[in-house]
Amino acid sequence: MSSGRFDHAVSSIDKARIIDPGNTEVVNMHNKVKSVARARSLGNELFNSGKFSEACVAYGEGLKQHPMNKVLYCNRAACRFKLEQWEKSIEDCNEALKIQSNYTKALLRRAASYGKVAYFVLHPFLVF
């Protein structure tokens, strides 16, 4: 879900909670959406501060609440790329692509990760 659509979902569930505050299904969904939003926001903040391991954990917490969130997978893949965990980055990109097969950011990030893996596998055999 793109940032705009996710923000719209958060706004919609906020409105639903105001309209029907006693509806347990709405309350549960509201709590879940807010939890994912907090995890994503915290992950973004940590990533931008260069705290890639901590950001990875934050995105993982969001994925526990919403395992079909391609953005969280792709963001965690970015953390893993920065941490030089390229195989794990590829795995997260693959998960994002299972959700949306034409997700450009995941395709590009996966290609970059494959490039790093290939470089380190082939490096001893390269002649300069």
User: Could you read off the pLDDT of 29-46 as tens digits, one per residue?
Assistant: 888 888 999 999 999 999
Map tokens 């996966």 to a residue.
110
Query: What token pair was written down for 97?
Result: 């692509």
Q: How many domains does the chain have?
A: 1
| pLDDT of 6 over the 80 cut | no
- By CB neighbour count within 10 A (0-12 exposed, 13-18 middle, 19+ buried), where does 117 fall? middle
Is the model more confident about 53 or about 17?
53
3-class secondary-structure state, position 127: coil
Gap between the Cα atoms of 85 and 98, Å rounded: 20
CATH number, residue 101:
1.25.40.10
Taking residues 62-73, report their average pLDDT: 96
Share above pLDDT 70 across residues of the chain, in percent, rounded to a whole number: 90
Give the pLDDT confidence score for residue 1 in this predicted structure. 47
| Sign of the alpha-carbon torsion through 28, 34, 37, 38 | negative
Domain that holds residue 91: 3-125
**pLDDT, tens only, 81-125:** 999 999 999 999 999 999 999 999 999 999 999 999 887 666 666
Give this prediction's pTM.
0.83
Is residue 49 classed as helix, strand or coil in its secondary structure? coil
